[in-house]
Amino acid sequence: MIVVDDSQSPLVFTEAENKIRKRWLFFSTILPNVVFGCCIIMGIIYALHASDFMALLWILLTALVLAGSIGINYHCAYKNPGTKLLFLMIVGSAISLLNLPRDLMRKENLDYLQTSMTYSLVIFGTAFFNVALLYYSYKLRQINKKMKARKVERLAVAH
């Protein structure tokens, strides 16, 4: 068992639970922010080259929002594990997966998919990412529900 230090009470997670928590953090925070970070860097370079300072402002605000999302995800996974954010991620991933076939079947996307290897990789990478995020969000939500039940039991025993 691994003990995660918390200021109010220690949270105890098994090795398997910690592995799921780390993988969820990777798929929910690290991977998307690396991709968006590269897009932000390219956008900054383009905005500076074009002297478009309003675009630069919006790009920097987007970077600030992404930094905030890292903090929120970390807090929800490690400091105060809950289930609401995870439920929203499950719903968002499911909606994205359900929309993927509809988007692929549009004529212009279908033609582009057949001619562009990069577009094909992006589409299948997006599908893989959404399936992984859906799976790990579901698993982490189960872990957090169990953890909350244990916390309630400890409080009931203490009183």
- Model confidence over 88-98: pLDDT tens digits? 888 988 898 88
Q: 114: which 2 tokens?
A: 């057949």
Closest CA to 27 of 97, 128, 122, 145: 128
- Cα-based distances in Å from 76 to 22, 65, 145: 12, 16, 13
User: Can you tell me the mean pLDDT for 142-153?
Assistant: 82
Provide the mean pLDDT of the chain. 80
Q: State residue 3's pLDDT score.
A: 47
The pLDDT tens digits for 40-76 are 888 888 888 888 888 888 888 888 888 887 788 777 7
Q: 143: which 2 tokens?
A: 């872990």
Number of domains in the chain: 1
Q: State residue 123's pLDDT score.
A: 78
Domain encompassing residue 33:
2-158
pLDDT band at 5 (very low <50, low <70, confident <90, very high): very low
Asked if residue 145 has pLDDT above 50, the reply is: yes
pTM exceeds 0.75 for this model: no
Q: State residue 112's pLDDT score.
A: 67
